[in-house]
Homo-oligomer: A and B are copies of this chain.
Amino acid sequence: MTSAEQHERGLERLKELAGPNAEAVVEQLTALAPDLGRWIVDFVFGEVYSRPGLDLRTRQIVNVAALTALGTATPQLEVHLSGALNVGVTQEELIEIFLQLAVYAGFPASLNGIAALERVLAAREAATPPAAGV
């Protein structure tokens, strides 16, 4: 596979997750570091997310669990909560994940996850998806 093909595959995967304007969002986030933007498309989405071993839905469950546990990546958690909803994880399942994480990451992590989900749901209702992550 040429690197142009990998880039194309990454863009497809990224849009599947984050919607048609995802490429513009990545470019804006990495305006100071365009190579990081390229890595996100080519390596993160074109290579990691394009592996057949896990479907996008399960990848988003993994991301939400990891980012909630870390607690240091709120913009990215919001992006992946929205992405999770886009690829078929239900709101009810996201809440179950936060309840489960109370045991392993503590109740504050749970509450902060739920607050992030509330912001994401409000933004989706207002048709202004969160744009500060990837």
Q: Which of A's residues lie within 8 Å of B, judged by CB? A: 3, 29-33, 35-36, 39-40, 43-44, 47-49, 51, 53-54, 58-59, 61-63, 65-73, 75-76, 91-93, 95-112, 114-115, 117-118, 121, 132-134
* A30 to B108 Cα, complex, angstroms: 12
Whether A39 lies near B102 (C-beta < 8 A) is yes
**28 A-B contact pairs sorted by A residue (CB < 8 Å):** A29-B115, A32-B95, A32-B114, A33-B98, A33-B114, A35-B99, A39-B47, A40-B107, A48-B99, A48-B102, A49-B100, A51-B96, A54-B93, A61-B61, A61-B65, A62-B97, A62-B100, A62-B101, A66-B69, A66-B104, A69-B69, A70-B70, A73-B106, A75-B108, A104-B106, A104-B107, A105-B106, A106-B109
